Amino acid sequence: MIDGRIRGSRVKITGLFPRHPRQVVTESKVLVCSLDPRFRESFGVDSKVYLRHYRHVDAVFSSSIRDLLGAIENGYDIVHLFSPLAPGGLLADSSDVTLLGSELIGNCCERDVKLLWIANENMPDDYVKGFKAAGRPLNLIMTISRNGTKFAGFLEKLLSRISSGETLPSAWAALVPQAEGPWQQDLPGCIFFAGRGDVKLIS
> Is the CA virtual torsion 120, 126, 127, 133 positive or negative?
negative
Summarize pLDDT for 152-203 with one digit per residue, the tens. Answer: 999 999 999 999 999 999 999 999 977 676 667 889 999 999 999 999 999 9
Among 120, 69, 64, 71, residue whose Cα is nearest residue 97:
64
Confidence of residue 21 (pLDDT cuts 50, 70, 90): low
More confident residue, 11 or 24: 24
Q: Are 55 and 77 in contact (CB under 8 A)?
A: no
List the domains of the chain with CATH numbers.
22-201 (3.40.50.1460)
pLDDT of residue 180: 72
| pLDDT at residue 10 greater than cutoff 70 | no
DSSP3 helix / strand / coil % (the chain, rounded to 5): 35, 25, 40
More confident residue, 167 or 15: 167
pLDDT of residue 22: 59
More confident residue, 63 or 202: 202
More confident residue, 44 or 8: 44
Q: Which amino acid makes up residue 60? A: V
**Can you tell me the distance from the alpha carbon of 161 to that of 170, in angstroms, rounded to the nearest whole number?**
9
Total residue length of the chain: 203
pLDDT of residue 95: 87
| pLDDT at residue 125 greater than cutoff 50 | yes
pTM for the model: 0.89
More confident residue, 185 or 50: 50
| pLDDT at residue 5 greater than cutoff 70 | no
Residue 29, beta-bridge partner list: 56
pLDDT of residue 59: 97
| pLDDT at residue 52 greater than cutoff 50 | yes
